[in-house]
Structure 1
Amino acid sequence: MTDGRVTRRALARRYLSAWIGFSAGGRFSQALATVVLLFAFGQSAVSTLVGTAGTWAVLVTLVVLAGLSLLGQRYRIEWHGVLPLSLLAFVGYCALSVLWSEYSWVALRGFVATVCFVGLGLYLALGRDLVQVIRAAGDAFRILLVVALGLEVLSGLVLDVPFPAFGIHGDIAYGGPIQGIGGTRNFMGFVAATALVTFVVEFLTRSVTRWRAIGSVAMAVIALMLVQSPITGLAMIALSVTALALWSLRHARPTTRPIVNTVLGVFVLVVAVLAFLVRGRLLAEIGAAGGSATRLALWSQIRQLIAQYPIQGWGWVGTWPREEVVPFAVLVDPAGVRYTSGLNAFVDAWLQIGLAGMLILLVAAGLAFARTWVTATTFPGVAYVWPAAILVLLAVTSTAESYLLHGAGLMVFTTVLVVAARRRSWRRLLPRVEHHG
């Protein structure tokens, strides 16, 4: 009996070692990165198809596979000074908030989901180089956009019936808005905008042929036009300004870059102040006045709840729970429909983890943007434009949605944080500790 157990253990170790070695291979890692991105950005559709339990099963499976892949690559991964302290502080504070929340089990579930998506983001940043991440994202977004537009055509033009399970209203025949695989037009717009950035950078890095790039960009632009999302429209304006600024800085002389950066900073500040002063008229012009009224009403309710726990917050949940738990169950619109998020990442974070947690998130985002911007404007590789553009997109979108705090937004944010730290972390200058066995 003892010999049989020893033999089975030896076989199990051999199979596990073989699987770890296989999962560390380039083809498997690249395929896994594509599937991770497909799942994260298509989570709403996955949840509709397989339910909550099935979605959790897929998420946990992907995390396990990503962990085994990283384990197999452990000797080639550069860990020194890579994991940002701001990210560790944010995740650690979210974990602490579970202890004082009044809904511990719901908070624990939300924290586990957060750790899973942060882990997937770490896998993308550590298990793949930046060009490989962009290629995986390009493949994933092509699939997502084809499926989304295909469902919209099927619903609005072929069958002429809505698909309420997917949130699709079938309005493509009238020029939109479309919801695709996102469940809402705003998230579909976020997917299309992220896809457009990815396709352009993918072409600039010569990762795809010209015709594939043209077809991909055309598909993303069509989706952006059909979503009719004012929030996405503002994000695209910000991305256009960002692209022009990055092009100018990358072609400027090193001695003139500080001057150009200063001028750009002043310009952005002035535009932001003017936009705030005339926000009512601006929102009305872009068709976002109705959505802004809804958001202002929600934020007014949230401020009253924040006042009860202003520093530590109510407790981290990430995505708002469907259970009847306070304070989320009491946040309803005038029609009595419950909100599913705070419709602003930083207001939402303040509610969940208080002022302290929100400031940690702001510091993490600020450091990441500073590092990605410097790298994008000074490093020769054009691939480093992608993290900076993605952060701008996340920042603008986060003023009207809470994507930064969960799911695909949190995963991509983690990836960008780690990629930025890999090039600009001050801890890389610290001496290495040699281990002698």
Structure 2
Amino acid sequence: MSSPAPSALDVAEHFFASPRLSSALTLVIVASELAAVLARDLIGWPGALAVLGGLVVLASLSLLAQRHMIEWNGLLPISLMVFVGWAAVSVFWSQYQWASLGSILYFGAVSLLGIYVALVRDTIQIARAFGDVLRAALLLSLALEIFSGVLIDTPLPFLGVAGHLADLGPIQGIFGGRNHLGVIALIAIVTFGLELRTKSVRRGTAIASLVLAGALLLLSRSPVAIGTMVIVALATLALFGIRQLPPQRKRIGQVALLVLAIVATILAWAYRTPVINAFAASSELSKRLRLWQQIRLLNPLHELEGWGWIGQWRRSIPPYSNIVDAPTSGLNAYLDVWLQIGLIGLLLFVGLLGLAFIRSWLLASRQRSVVYAWPALVLVVLAVSSLAESSILVEFGWLTFVVCSVKAARELSWRRAFAETMSPRPLEE
């Protein structure tokens, strides 16, 4: 007798559990968040929210279909859940509750997409997906800059392209600002370098991608990205130096590296003026200092709990409407978090970032595969650039951070280790 035909539910579950769907959905998720500014410029907020909502539905159905294949023990880092939870409950004391509620829903949706990517794809698959999307986004940025700055010599204001390529920058690409382009190009350099090292793409493709990302980084003329690049280069040398040590010496090497990092941080702060001048960032810093001073005047009014989560600033509502020349963020993720969800939120954010980085660094230094270096170095980019940008708190920056955080926590989960030690073992005969 022939077997009964599968039901519609079985067909749907097989479809949403398909690895091909997970792969395609991961690419679309990363691309949608990376090109969020471009999407809003082209289809507006309603269209962008419709895309986000559709991706959340598809990701939820895919997670549900794969529920039996996912290890649920220690699923999410507690630090991430606490931080997102604190941002969510800030709606109760927010000075702009309607805006906080919408921002929290948006924040939660991006968080869910990041969790989905981290759960259904391996680290090498995630890095490859980011590589493919970054390559396409940088090529599109270069094409638009050539069209605007060379071919027609006219800005494209509806896309945020100023058309300065003929003057060798600064350029913005599709990302709305030169600092955003610079940081994304730096993440791309880390990703393409990993592709070259792991031979996950053809050597020619990897080298061409590195040249493209490096060129756009330089053309962005972003002091934030250039300064971050120096730190990332030093971190890369340190990480691969630690990886070469024999296992019995790695702990000593990690302690020595920590001491060296602390000393370097103190020296950089002590000699901050010549460092700033070396990167020609004095004008950038002056603008930021004026903004940060205004934020510091607002913080004491709601110091512990903050004004309420908003994510990307809305200049139509106070206190942001009262800030002179207010941008769309605090241009410092740490001060931004302090302003929005208070000193408690800042401590939670620093703890979350610190735990994610420590876990990723330990994995990268212990594991034989070089692919584990990707989350660690990407987190270096995000953490350092957050001193002068708030992009880690929204869209692509937050998605990338959630992916790295969840992957690191699942590999080094104390809850999973505790469960394994508590599980009964078979009796020996």
Is 1:397 aligned to 2:370, yes or no?
Answer: no
Do the aligned partners of 1:332 and 1:339 also contact (CA within 8 Å) in 2?
no
The DSSP-based 3-state class of the residue aligned with 1:78 is coil
Is 1:327 aligned to 2:315, yes or no?
Answer: no
Match of 1:244 in 2: 237
For 1:234-281, what per-residue CA distance to the aligned partner results, in whole angstroms no more than 9, with x for missing partners?
A: 111111111101111111011111222222222221221111112122
For 1:300-337, what per-residue CA distance to the aligned partner results, in whole angstroms no more than 9, with x for missing partners?
A: 11111110010000101111124x2111111123xxxx
| Separation (CA, whole Å) in 1 of partners of 2:8 and 2:295 | 52
Match of 1:254 in 2: 247
The DSSP-based 3-state class of the residue aligned with 1:133 is helix
Match of 2:336 in 1: 348
Do the aligned partners of 1:121 and 1:415 also contact (CA within 8 Å) in 2?
yes
1:38-77 to 2 correspondences below 5 Å:
38-77=31-70
Shift of residue 82, structure 1, vs aligned partner:
2.7
| Separation (CA, whole Å) in 1 of partners of 2:13 and 2:209 | 34
State TM-score, norm by structure 1.
0.93
- Counterpart residue type for residue 31 of structure 1: A
| Separation (CA, whole Å) in 2 of partners of 1:353 and 1:296 | 21
1:203-352 to 2 correspondences below 5 Å:
203-322=196-315, 324-333=316-325, 338-352=326-340
| Separation (CA, whole Å) in 1 of partners of 2:308 and 2:9 | 38
Is 1:373 aligned to 2:373, yes or no?
Answer: no
| Separation (CA, whole Å) in 2 of partners of 1:230 and 1:84 | 33
Q: Of residues 384, 399, 420 in structure 1, which corresponds to 2:408? A: 420
Match of 2:28 in 1: 35
Match of 1:129 in 2: 122
Once the two structures are overlaid, the 10-residue window that deviates more, 16-25 or 119-128, is 16-25
Call closer, same or farther: CA 1:255–1:61 in 2, change over 3 Å.
Answer: same
Once the two structures are overlaid, the 10-residue window that deviates more, 263-272 or 359-368, is 263-272
| Separation (CA, whole Å) in 1 of partners of 2:102 and 2:345 | 19
Q: Please provide the CA RMSD for this pair.
A: 1.5
| Separation (CA, whole Å) in 2 of partners of 1:116 and 1:17 | 27
Gaps of 5+ in 2: 1-5, 424-429
Shift of residue 375, structure 1, vs aligned partner:
0.4
- Counterpart residue type for residue 300 of structure 2: A
Once the two structures are overlaid, the 10-residue window that deviates more, 261-270 or 134-143, is 261-270
Call closer, same or farther: CA 1:44–1:17 in 2, change over 3 Å.
Answer: farther
Gaps of 5+ in 1: 1-12
Is 1:99 aligned to 2:87, yes or no?
Answer: no
| Separation (CA, whole Å) in 1 of partners of 2:7 and 2:344 | 47
| Separation (CA, whole Å) in 2 of partners of 1:424 and 1:250 | 18
| Separation (CA, whole Å) in 2 of partners of 1:46 and 1:222 | 24
Match of 1:165 in 2: 158
Shift of residue 21, structure 1, vs aligned partner:
2.3
Is 1:153 aligned to 2:125, yes or no?
Answer: no
Once the two structures are overlaid, the 10-residue window that deviates more, 96-105 or 19-28, is 19-28
- Counterpart residue type for residue 328 of structure 1: Y
Is 1:202 aligned to 2:190, yes or no?
Answer: no
Match of 1:6 in 2: none
The DSSP-based 3-state class of the residue aligned with 1:307 is helix
Shift of residue 430, structure 1, vs aligned partner:
2.5
- Counterpart residue type for residue 379 of structure 1: Q
- Aligned residues with identical type, % of pairs: 42
The DSSP-based 3-state class of the residue aligned with 1:431 is helix
Call closer, same or farther: CA 1:306–1:249 in 2, change over 3 Å.
Answer: same
The DSSP-based 3-state class of the residue aligned with 2:206 is helix
Is 1:18 aligned to 2:18, yes or no?
Answer: no
Q: Of residues 359, 372, 380 in structure 1, which corresponds to 2:347? A: 359
Q: Of residues 344, 359, 375 in structure 2, which corresponds to 1:387? A: 375
4+ aligned runs moved over 6 Å, structure 1? none
| Separation (CA, whole Å) in 1 of partners of 2:66 and 2:144 | 39
| Separation (CA, whole Å) in 1 of partners of 2:24 and 2:212 | 23
| Separation (CA, whole Å) in 2 of partners of 1:263 and 1:226 | 36
Aligned residues, how many?
417
| Separation (CA, whole Å) in 1 of partners of 2:72 and 2:391 | 28
Shift of residue 15, structure 1, vs aligned partner:
4.6
For 1:163-186, what per-residue CA distance to the aligned partner results, in whole angstroms no more than 9, with x for missing partners?
A: 112221111111111100111000
For 1:130-166, what per-residue CA distance to the aligned partner results, in whole angstroms no more than 9, with x for missing partners?
A: 1111111111011101100000000011111011122
Shift of residue 16, structure 1, vs aligned partner:
5.7
Match of 1:90 in 2: 83
Shift of residue 282, structure 1, vs aligned partner:
1.5
Once the two structures are overlaid, the 10-residue window that deviates more, 386-395 or 268-277, is 268-277
| Separation (CA, whole Å) in 2 of partners of 1:123 and 1:221 | 30
| Separation (CA, whole Å) in 2 of partners of 1:280 and 1:314 | 33
Match of 1:4 in 2: none
| Separation (CA, whole Å) in 2 of partners of 1:361 and 1:16 | 41
- Counterpart residue type for residue 64 of structure 1: V
Do the aligned partners of 1:31 and 1:136 also contact (CA within 8 Å) in 2?
no
